[in-house]
Chains A and B, each alone.
Chain A
Amino acid sequence: MTALLEAPEEPVEAPKAPEDRERFRATTVAWLSPAAILLIGLFLIPTGYAVYLGFTNLQLLGPNAQHFSFTGAANLNRLIHDPVFWSSVKITLIFVIGSGIIAQTLIGLALALLGQRAHISVRATVGSIVILAWVLPEIGVAFIWYAFGQSGGLLSEIIGNPSNDLLSTAPLLIVSIANAWRGTAFSMLILSAGLRNVPEEVDEAAQLEGAGYWRRLFRVTLPIMRPTIMTNMLLITIGTISDFTLIYAMTQGGPGNQTAILPVYMYIEAFQFNALGYGTTIALALIVIGALLSIVYVRQLRPELRKAS
């Protein structure tokens, strides 16, 4: 079988019981096929189909719903000249970087660092509260912060201007706060684990040389944690960039598309403005942007990856 040609890792992985692993066994197909059928049918084929649909004039209703056709670069052309698309890209980047990468990493890191030195009961209680925000269904989070952002809601009370309808005056800020509130637990968990893996001896050596806490944090701890922090940022980016529920339930992308990140803009174009083909083009653009951002991280992580292998 072709099996003999590939998988260079195999001999390394299986030094003993070779007769068991060297042959490809027919039953392996039986183990793999249920997952393969679901992934091919509901993941790979739709992905391939998306690449095609993105270049068609498919519509939700009307004549082009049944008889759509390939329109070449028409959608791409429309995308490039669509000011709403470019503002959506900008909003997506602000949302991902502001509420995802910056807010969640900084607050998560603060919680992890404080937790490391705080009393066990305080750490456990605060940790559970932060995790509770993460476990709540996203729609519940959307509702809570929707209420908070209303005029007369808690946020406008706190800033001392109860009549201010923050969801109209600062919608992107409110959905960003909601997202940061919900997502911080993930960073806290990852970064706490990373912090525990920093060897104590290194920190103690720096202490003996008289380095203060902040100096040790910035010169020793954080550089050691760099791969963890970068991986965490990558995971936050992937999670945040495709977020839909939170923003859509709070603002439906509005007012005036001010919170329409790309998945929301895709939904609006496809299912409200009838343009399924163009909506797919937007989704493809989202993938390209996600891939570009991921490449940035992987490049940053390359020295560490090389060291590890």
Chain B
Amino acid sequence: MSTGEISVPLSVVEDRTQEVVPNQLRRARVNKLVINTVLAVLGIIFLLPIIWLIDSALNPNATQGLSAPAWSLANFRAAIAAGAGGAIKNSLYLAVVSTVVATGVSTLAAYALSRRRVPFKATVLLGILFLTGLPVTLLLIPLYEIFVHLGWANSPFYTSLVLSATSIPFAIWLLKNFIDQVPKEFEEAAAIEGSSEMRILWKIVIPLSLPGIMVAAILTFINSWGAFLIPLVLDANPGNQPGAVGIYQFMSANGIVQYGPLAAYGILFSVPVVVLYLICSRWLNGGFAFAGGVKG
């Protein structure tokens, strides 16, 4: 990046006199300062809502405006009293079950689609790609009808299956492309040595495509963790409501919005996915890295 910066003045130097050089260098330096400042200001604007959230969570008298800095955990206690713990546990259940199911079945399917002869493979792949773009909104009412008739409504397990189904098309697409990149030689060698297919998948394919599997798992987890509309419609049992529905109910329940406890609730609900993202960002960064230059 910085080489491009320096080459601006250098390329101009060639057809200008020597006296211009300090001027050009100074201009480049000013440019650099302006760029860093503008980017930093944008960063501060983006940070402001998060600062407000943390500030409000720590001040027991928080309002919609900025509160005086405080260090009280009263809001967190109020959020837990309002059921944050149970709701987050419900979110964890939905996210874990749907992630395990979606990642598992998608890995198997992606492996078959990558390595095996599958009838109408091109059509199947196109259909899967089409499903990734289909809004979940369309499924909602039919699923509600089906669930009511089959007695599957108000069941966290079936709700998590729906969440996993919404993630499977993208997961298969991602994993198929990933497994395509894994060299086939290891599998072929293992097959010649008489390893069973399950063993080849478990000992060779999965370890080699682990980064892709992690990306699929993390994206499914984050998606299911924040799920709102599907659990809202498919699970009316108040004891089953996940964090997103819990926060929504808490926002609209009492006549007066309790900003402090809500901010604390929001933080309790956000921390797990943020931490997960931070831990796993090196896997995600394999796909697209903004801070990719950090490596060197």
Contacts and interface: CB of A to CB of B under 8 A. Distances in A.
Contacts of A9: 121-122
Interface band, chain A: 35 or more
B61 to A, nearest CB: 14
A28 B117 contact: yes
B254 interface: no
A50 B141 contact: yes
Contact of B50 (A10, A133, A143, A283): A133
Given A3-B117, A129-B47, A49 B65 contact: no
A267 interface: yes
B135 A263 contact: yes
Contact of B289 (A10, A35, A193): A193
Interface residues of B, number: 102
A213 to B, nearest CB: 8
Interface in A98-134: 107, 110-112, 114-120, 122-133
Contacts of A45: 142, 146
A208 B248 CA distance: 57
Given A22-B117, A154-B65, A287-B134, A135 B109 contact: no
Contact of B247 (A125, A140, A213, A270): A140
A111 B291 CA distance: 12
Interface string A17-40: 100111111011001101110110
A50 B139 contact: yes
Contact of B49 (A53, A135, A145, A210): A145
A25 B116 contact: yes
A179 interface: no
Contacts of B101: 38
B274 A132 contact: yes
Interface stretch (B18-26, B36-44, B69-77, B208-216): B36-44
Contact of A144 (B66, B113, B266): B266
Given A120-B293, A122-B40, A153-B64, A279 B141 contact: yes
B240 interface: no
23 contacts: A28-B117, A34-B104, A35-B106, A36-B109, A38-B105, A42-B143, A42-B161, A43-B134, A117-B4, A120-B293, A123-B290, A123-B291, A129-B43, A130-B43, A139-B243, A145-B49, A148-B64, A181-B49, A207-B7, A238-B135, A241-B135, A283-B140, A290-B135
